[in-house]
Amino acid sequence: MYPSRFSYEAPRSLSEAIALLHDGGDDAKVLAGGQSLVPLMKLRFASPELVVDINNIPGLDYHRQDADGTLRIGALCRHAQLERSDILAGSHPTMTAAAPVIADPIVRNRGTLVGSLCHADPQGDWASVVTALGGHVVAQGPGGSRTIAMADFVSGPFQNALAHDEIAVEAVIPAPGGQRSGGYLKLERRVGDFATVGVAVAVETSGGTVSKAGIALTGVGGATINAAEAASALVGAPLSAETIERAADLAAQASRPRTDHRGSAEYKRHMVRTFVVRILSPSLNGGASANGNSERAA
Ligand SMILES: Cc1cc2nc3c(=O)[nH]c(=O)nc-3n(C[C@H](O)[C@H](O)[C@H](O)COP(=O)(O)OP(=O)(O)OC[C@H]3O[C@@H](n4cnc5c(N)ncnc54)[C@H](O)[C@@H]3O)c2cc1C
């Protein structure tokens, strides 16, 4: 199917793009990688009257680490850049585990992490990863910029906290306060598929004690699930088989899966539990965590 008729603008500055969005009201949409928006338009699930393509705006295609270890990912940083990143390798186990299992190589070449966060698909992998890492989104609008914690950014299925005239300019992952471990595991029916179940875990350890933890779930609820209670069960003690089991139980309880053609709710809840244990168990006794990848289910 062809999309409905729409106007197309490709501004060369952020201020121009914001002005176009402001004037376009609710009928205007940002286009980044187009890997979610274009299919939705072709199916006529989305029919914006104005598409504001941000790909000609210079200086948004970065990902970089500040001197203190804060990671910044610009609005036009593609999934593939993160998959091949030397910056992430070795120091960002949750992100390096997720990057290669987002969609397929074609989608990864165009799609962006920030676009994925904005799209707020309950099956989007990056929203769970950034939530588990305690990240935030920097939004810029006519009145200036503001910071939105990732846990507040996804407001529902395919809904985010941006105003209609705001652009998400970057995602930020705070610097670690200790040694980082964790990973991302995704159950998918075949390579390139959306997650049947995805689990992101990020843990920081100082002096053998877990100082910070995040767990977030993909595809097992109406939106990305921040399993904060499960993560809290890990904090304040050394990682142990008992704390991992407790966190895994709480994460499974936080999930809200539905039975469908991919599996029963019970099976998906079981996979949440299994993935939490599987990601964290290799970190016991100070070992590096299995940062994971994907598994296929029939
Ligand atoms: C075949 C296929 C398989 C896929 N599989 C997966 C998968 O396994 N896992 C997964 O996580 N994703 C998957 N995706 C989605 C893919 O990751 C998209 O790239 C991503 O969801 C959106 O990023 P984008 O840059 O393409 O955004 P776009 O499609 O350009 O935009 C998506 C939405 O976000 C808004 N938006 C984008 N950028 C901004 C911004 N900077 N500020 C404000 N609003 C913005 C747009 O207006 C639009 O509403 C798949 C897509 C396809 C086509």
Q: Measure 193 CA to ligand 1 centroid, in angstroms.
A: 14
The reported pLDDT for the residue numbered 287 is 53
Ligand 1-lining residues (CB < 6 angstroms): 29-37, 39, 75, 102-103, 107, 111-112, 114-116, 118-119, 121, 124-126, 162, 167-168, 194
The reported pLDDT for the residue numbered 90 is 86
The reported pLDDT for the residue numbered 292 is 58
The reported pLDDT for the residue numbered 240 is 95
Q: Measure 240 CA to ligand 1 centroid, in angstroms.
A: 37
Task: Name the nearest CA neighbour of 20 among 59, 58, 50.
Answer: 50
User: Which of 27, 82, 114, 116 best tests ligand 1's pocket when mutated (most atoms within 8 Å of CB)?
Assistant: 116
Average pLDDT across each block of 10 residues of the chain; the chain has 298 residues. List them in order: 93 98 96 97 94 98 97 98 95 96 96 98 97 98 97 93 98 95 94 94 95 98 96 96 97 97 96 98 64 55
The reported pLDDT for the residue numbered 295 is 62
